[in-house]
């Protein structure tokens, strides 16, 4: 990749204040003034920021998040169907409404049989047909329950476990580290040689979010475990099982044993520990208990020669439980999880009970989401890129894509210059870092090639079967990758997803269309706000290639050290200073952030925002930045960043985020500004204020 040149962005260029046109004003200036008046206005305020959502009575140096967002916090209610609400949620609502229109248009008669539009419409219409679902009762689930009842041996058990394996985990996404199936499969590039794929096996088997929900002795978690056991019993009752209290107790005991085997979130994120390769023969030797021949035959991987156990000791211990725990207990466990997984596509009684535990008990959400919203999500899950193709045709312009690409170029240039200026890194390591940056690939809006869904059968009127076939289709697609060349351009998000990501083994960053909306990105907003908002996100994803995980991967995406020992020691010391800073934050009484667990995301915020700041000033090309509505350019930049992370949580949802997530809550993400030197003069922050850090205490990594 050639070195990016710094370019001034077209519609994102800063608007310079000018004197009112007079008789003496040159004709060109008059024309420019008229054109400026006719330009489309930003969605929020006069320059793209929601000033009404601020609270200017708060001193920025004491509480910058509150200063930027407290007006919004006071007037915004968490929707009854959410455990939390944030800027991401606001945009997700916009994307959902748009996607609903696309899907409902597809559901209308007329699309050719077998077409993507027909499949989209039939999938959604089937989910929305509650009468048909109610009439079907448990019939769609019965074949799986019958297979489970027929298990009589360890080989039978292993065969059923293999048949139920699905590609429903993602080792680089903390929300998808585990699955409720006993094991999960993630097919991605081999960390040692990214020219080929490796099938990674990942720990699973839990019905609650994390091992701590089973092992924490506090009253809060003891109460949750009691509710979970009651939930297991209720689901089994609704499915017609007897002796449900005893069965539920056995299932909870088994899951508790599985939880003891699980790695923590922090350990799971350790790439070096995860980079383990077992041969086909190693499975039986190192993870006895599962009949691996039966398991892999049923999983469609009988000929696969090697595997990557992401949490090897957990895989071994879980396999041991398969071999040691009573088959009757495993049958109860498998039956409950089959019912639990299928519940959203079955009768109302199962849907309601599933919601009562998984959303109300675990996240504090009081109300079930509207069915159409669930239908939109489920259809996007099964046919994501087919829906996404229609989404970008309606809602993402070539001009917006070009604007984003130009902004990315500027930020890459800025980060490259930051590498040059590092005073703690040797020339040798700098050269490797710059080589990696020069090989970055960027996806904006949508992938260059779309997924083929011709092999997915969708039957109108069969909601459960469509979901089941959709999961199996995605699993087969992933397993098939093992026999072919690596697709370096695969996207792991749909265009209608409000998020962004870094793919370290592809050395690629991706920005789906749905996040490129106000407040993150407004083509008509002031450039400073855009650079603080979406620019901070771009910088964040760039820096993920150089955070505590990304820094371990080289320019080709291989897990290969490119650091001198002294430079790595400096990097770790600076990173630990940031971890200590975040470990001091206490979102709930007695519950602190785990600075190491959220370290990668905070490194990305820290250096990503600094890179976006540099890029904004580079884009000015020496011109003075305007003052708009009394706000300087630097103030607008940092306000744009803070508005990204508006968020409100119910207590249960916040606790879950802190215990099992790798992102700091929004308030603390906004506070990364206290490590940025230009923030202090921008808001006249002085010693003694709550967020003030002396210059030698401000963490600087990249």
Q: What is the pLDDT of residues 442-480, one digit of tens each?
A: 999 999 999 999 999 999 999 999 999 999 999 999 999
Cβ proximity of 552 and 561 under 8 Å: yes
Domain with CATH 1.10.1380.10 in the chain: 138-345
Asked if 283 contacts 292 with a C-beta cutoff of 8 angstroms, the reply is yes
Phi, psi of 114 (to 5 degrees): 85, -10
Beta-carbon count within 10 A of 396 CB = 22
Q: What percent of the chain has pLDDT over 90?
A: 92
Over residues 366-390, the mean pLDDT reads 97
Show the 3-state SS of 74-128. HHCCCCCCCCEEEHHHHHHHHHHHHHHHHHHHHHCCCCCCCCHHHHHHHHHHHHH
- 246-277 pLDDT, tens digit per residue, is 999 999 999 999 999 999 998 998 999 999 99
Averaged pLDDT, 9-20 = 28
User: Could you tell me whether strands 278-279 and 183-190 are parallel, antiparallel, or unpaired per DSSP bridges?
Assistant: unpaired
CATH second-level architecture of 38-76+396-449+489-697? 3-Layer(aba) Sandwich (3.40)
Give the confidence band of 174 by pLDDT, cuts at 50, 70, 90: low
- Partners of 153 in the beta sheet? none
CB of 506 closer than 8 Å to CB of 612: no
Position 388 scores a pLDDT of 97
Give the whole-angstrom CA distance, residue 101 versus residue 694.
Answer: 52
Question: Looking at residue 40, what is its pLDDT?
Answer: 86
Stretch 534-547: mean pLDDT, rounded?
97
Q: Cis omega before residue 519 (within 30°)?
A: yes
pLDDT at 176: 72
Write out pLDDT tens, residues 643-681.
Answer: 999 999 999 999 999 999 999 999 999 999 999 999 999
Q: What is the pLDDT of residue 171?
A: 86
Q: Identify any residues that bridge with 183 across adjacent strands, giving them in sequence order.
A: 203
What value does the mean pLDDT take over residues 509-533? 96
Give the global pTM. Answer: 0.90
pLDDT exceeds 80 at position 23: no
Is the pLDDT at 21 greater than 70? The verdict is: no
Q: Give the pLDDT confidence of 33-48 residue by residue, as tens digits.
A: 444 556 789 999 999 9
Class level of CATH domain 138-345: mainly alpha
Between β-strands 183-190 and 193-203, what pairing exists: parallel, antiparallel or unpaired? Answer: antiparallel
Q: Mean pLDDT of all residues in the chain? A: 93
Between 173 and 471, residue with greater pLDDT: 471
Q: Does residue 352 have a pLDDT over 50?
A: yes
Lowest mean pLDDT among 104-118, 139-153, 181-195, 297-311: 104-118
Say whether pLDDT at 527 is over 60: yes
CA distance 203 to 255: 12
Neighbours of 83 (CB within 10 A): 21
Closest CA to 229 of 364, 361, 363: 361
Is the pLDDT at 485 greater than 50? The verdict is: yes
Q: Are 43 and 27 in contact (CB under 8 A)?
A: no
Q: How confident is the model at residue 172 (pLDDT cuts 50, 70, 90)?
A: confident
Query: How far apart (Å, rounded) are the C-alpha atoms in residues 519 and 390?
Result: 23
Over the stretch 555-591, which tens digit does the pLDDT of each residue have?
Answer: 999 999 999 999 999 999 999 999 999 999 999 999 9
- Say whether pLDDT at 338 is over 60: yes
> In this predicted structure, what is the pLDDT of residue 426?
98
Q: Is the pLDDT of residue 103 over 60?
A: yes
Q: Phi-psi category of 325—alpha, beta or left, where left has phi over 0 and alpha has psi -120 to 50?
A: beta
14 or 503: which carries more pLDDT confidence?
503
């Amino acid at each position: 990749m050639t070195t990016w040149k710094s370019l001034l962005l077209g519609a994102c260029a800063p608007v310079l204040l000018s004197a009112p046109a007079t008789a003496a004003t040159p004709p060109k200036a008059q024309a420019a003034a008229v054109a400026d008046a006719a330009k489309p206005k930003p969605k929020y305020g006069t320059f793209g920021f929601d000033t009404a959502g601020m609270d200017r009575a708060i001193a920025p140096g004491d509480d910058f998040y509150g200063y930027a967002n407290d007006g919004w916090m006071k007037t915004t209610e968490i929707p009854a169907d959410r455990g939390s609400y944030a800027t991401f949620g606001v945009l997700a609502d916009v994307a959902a409404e748009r996607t609903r229109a696309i899907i409902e248009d597809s559901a209308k008669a007329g699309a050719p049989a077998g077409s993507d539009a027909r499949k989209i419409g039939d999938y959604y219409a089937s989910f929305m047909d509650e009468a048909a679902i109610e009439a079907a009762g448990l019939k769609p689930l019965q074949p799986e329950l019958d297979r489970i009842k027929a298990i009589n041996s360890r080989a039978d058990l292993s065969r059923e476990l293999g048949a139920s394996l699905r590609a429903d985990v993602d080792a680089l996404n903390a929300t998808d580290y585990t699955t409720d199936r006993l094991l999960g499969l993630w097919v991605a590039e081999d960390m040692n040689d990214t020219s080929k794929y490796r099938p990674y096996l990942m720990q699973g088997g839990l019905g609650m979010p994390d091992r701590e929900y089973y092992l924490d002795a506090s009253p809060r978690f003891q109460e949750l475990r009691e509710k979970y056991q009651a939930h297991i019993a209720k689901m089994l009752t609704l499915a017609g099982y007897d002796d449900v209290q005893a069965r539920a107790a056995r299932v909870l005991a088994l899951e508790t044993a599985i939880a003891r085997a699980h790695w923590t979130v922090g350990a799971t994120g350790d790439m070096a520990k995860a980079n383990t390769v077992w041969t086909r023969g190693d499975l039986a030797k190192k993870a006895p208990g599962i009949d691996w021949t039966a398991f892999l035959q049923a999983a469609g991987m009988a000929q696969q020669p090697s595997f990557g156990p992401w949490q090897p000791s957990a895989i071994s211990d879980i396999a041991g439980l398969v071999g040691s725990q009573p088959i009757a207990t495993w049958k109860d466990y498998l039956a409950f999880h089959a019912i639990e997984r299928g519940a959203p596509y079955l009768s109302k009684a199962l849907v309601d009970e599933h919601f009562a535990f998984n959303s109300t008990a675990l996240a504090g959400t009081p109300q079930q989401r509207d069915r159409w919203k669930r239908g939109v999500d489920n259809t996007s899950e099964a046919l994501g890129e087919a829906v996404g193709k229609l989404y970008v045709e309606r809602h993402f312009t070539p001009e917006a894509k070009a604007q984003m690409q130009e902004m990315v170029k500027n930020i890459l240039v800025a980060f490259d210059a930051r590498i040059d200026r590092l005073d703690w890194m040797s020339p040798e390591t700098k050269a490797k870092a710059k080589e990696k940056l020069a090989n970055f690939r960027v996806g904006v809006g949508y992938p260059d090639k779309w997924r083929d869904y011709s092999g997915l059968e969708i039957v109108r009127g069969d909601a459960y079967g469509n979901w089941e076939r959709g999961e199996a289709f995605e699993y087969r697609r992933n397993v098939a990758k093992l026999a072919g060349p690596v697709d370096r351009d695969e996207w792991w998000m749909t265009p209608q997803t409000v998020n962004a990501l870094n793919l370290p083994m592809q050395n690629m960053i991706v920005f789906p269309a749905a996040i490129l909306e106000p407040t993150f990105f407004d083509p008509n907003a002031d450039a400073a706000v855009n650079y603080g908002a979406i620019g901070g996100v771009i910088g964040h994803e760039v820096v993920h290639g150089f955070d505590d995980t990304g820094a371990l991967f080289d320019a080709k995406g291989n897990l290969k050290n490119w650091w001198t020992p002294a430079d790595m020691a400096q990097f770790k010391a600076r990173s630990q200073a940031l971890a200590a800073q975040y470990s001091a934050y206490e979102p709930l009484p007695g519950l602190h952030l785990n600075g190491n667990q959220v370290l990668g995301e905070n490194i990305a915020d820290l250096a990503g925002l600094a890179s976006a700041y540099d890029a904004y000033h580079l884009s000015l090309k020496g011109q003075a930045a305007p003052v708009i509505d009394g706000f300087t350019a630097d103030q607008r930049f940092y306000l744009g960043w803070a508005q990204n992370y508006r968020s409100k949580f119910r207590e249960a949802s916040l606790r879950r985020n802190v215990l099992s997530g790798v992102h700091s809550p929004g308030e603390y993400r906004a506070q990364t500004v206290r490590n940025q030197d230009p923030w202090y003069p921008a808001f006249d922050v002085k010693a003694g204020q709550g967020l003030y850090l002396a210059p030698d205490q401000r963490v600087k990594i990249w």
